[in-house]
Each structure stands twice: as structure tokens, then as C-alpha cells.
Amino acid sequence: MGYEMAMMGMGLGNGMPVEVSEGYAEGRHAKRRGKGSASVFERKLMRLKISAWKRGRYVDDAVTAEFLEAVACSHCPIKRVAMTSGTGTPTDMTVDRVFNGGAYAVGNIAFMSAAANHAKGSLMPLEIVEIAKKGENFDGLSAEEWMRLACLVCQATPPGYPITNLPMFVYPPNGLLISNGYVVLQQSLTLLAAGFIHPKWNAELRMCAKGKKTKRALDELLQVLAMTCRHEVAKARTEHEKEYAMCDSWMAPLVFERYLQLVRALSGEETSSMLACARRANGNYRAMSTSDIDRWGLERGGYK
């Protein structure tokens, strides 16, 4: 760690172990010889490792600078502002664990602004849901932003944690391991309603609905989703604006009412079938596996 910090031109700081100091000295010597240069995401990874090390948190070896670059976004999913870098302001880009009971591991990481990260703190998903339910501005986030944060953290919770069924106020970030099947269903239905996936999936989903009541509920949901989001999506100029438009459609009470009507109409068999179909329809969905979750260090609460 000390060697990498020196190669990146970072300061060592006080209170570092002897091994880190020795590595730092070696890195400074190598840097003077003209070896090595650090990218933005290599520096971000090192800061993440330093922060985790100070708190005794575990960082999965699979979390690399390349991985961070692949899942990075330009705008905060919670505040919806363009993120800055190194300004020391609330808009600065940060990397955080989505589920605070796990480690910095693949599938449990998302980018967000410093303001959103500060508000999230060490709160667990159900605690954030309770704050969001109050519908109040709190700790630097508006009521609507707390709703988005609640949606985000409930998208990636491990087996055994209570599954919530919230409106899709936040589009699932790239690289997030979506463990909540209802989110996959909402995302796929919204993409279908917005015209971003092939209409054939409408027929595929209707085949999963065996009863007339279920088919009618699905048709009514897709109808109101299409009416709500297509016009707004058509006006969007960028990819993140399109995602905002799709998510904002879930702010309409009628959309969520029709969605709950569908969920209540589904039998156990229909639910399993429809969720599986939604996963196939959604090319961005990353399947959950035991090996992924094992790397979250859940038995240790994400600590080393």
C-alpha cells in the first residue's frame, strides 16, 4: 500500500505502520527513476483501500481500478447532479458499499456524491426505508432523495435480509448485484414500456401469467407505464436523463398501484416464471451467485 501511494504521488500521513512507511520509501525511489503513473481510478482505489484499512474493512481483491472505472457514473444516482472530483465539496464522487453489512466487494459497490454518502453513513437498508417513509428533508437530502437512497440500498441485500417491494425510484447502477427479484421485474417492465427492449417480451411475460386476472393486471400496468414514461423519455438527451425519466414514472401513484395489483394477482408459480422471464429480458441483469455473496464477508459484517 505504501509503495502504491508513493507511485501515485500521494502523501503518506501520520500513524502508518513501519511496513507501509518502508513501502512508501521504496515507491518514492522508484518514482524518481521515472517508473509508473497513476490513473484517476487507481488513485480512487488507493483512497478506498486506505479508508477501509483505517476502519478494519475488507476490500475484495476483485475490486480493481479497472472494475471501478467500468462501474463509474458521471451523475449521482441520489442527488442527480454531475459529480466533481477532488474539490472537497458535497458533489465530489465517492465509492461506497451499497449494503453496509458487507465488504467492499464486486456487486456491493456504487458511486454516489459525497453528500449522499454522508447521509447514508452506516445505516442499514430498513433504517433508510424508515427515514424515507417520513417524507421529510433530513441530513442534506430531500424527501425524494431519501426515497431514491432507500430504493438503491434495497436493490442489493443478501439472502436472509428482509426483501422490500419499493417503487423503482433509482435505476440499478452498472455492476450492482441485484438480489431483489422485484427490482429486475420493475426494470424489465419499464424498459418494455419505454420501448427499449423488443416487444416480443410482452408476449413472453403474458405467457407467464396463467389467469385472466393476472394478464389483465399486467396489461394495465404496461399501459400506464407507457403513457407515463414514453413522452418524457423521448425528450431525454442523455442516457442518465432517460433513466431519470423511467424512474420518475414510478412517482405516479397509479403506476405503483397497478404494479401492486399485478403482484397481488400473481400465484407462486406465476411469480417464479415471470421473474425468470424478466431476467432473460433484461440484458443488464447480473445473476446472483454464492461465490459473489461469499466475498462480501457477511459473517464478519464486512470487516477483516
> pLDDT tens, 211-226?
999 999 999 999 999 9
Average pLDDT over residues 50-70: 91
- Given a cut of 70, whether residue 28 has pLDDT beyond it is no
| pLDDT confidence band for 286 (50 / 70 / 90) | low
Are 98 and 110 in contact by the 8 Å Cβ rule? The answer is yes
For the chain, report the end-to-end CA distance as a whole number of angstroms.
Answer: 16
Q: Identify the sign of the CA torsion 104, 109, 113, 116.
A: negative
Are 7 and 59 in contact by the 8 Å Cβ rule? The answer is no
Instruction: Compute the mean pLDDT over every residue in the chain, rounded to the nearest whole number.
Output: 89
> pLDDT tens, 91-113?
999 999 999 999 999 999 999 99
Give me the percent of the chain exceeding a pLDDT of 70.
86
Average pLDDT over residues 159-178: 93
DSSP state of 163: P
Q: Among candidates 123, 115, 122, which has minimal Cα distance to 139?
A: 115
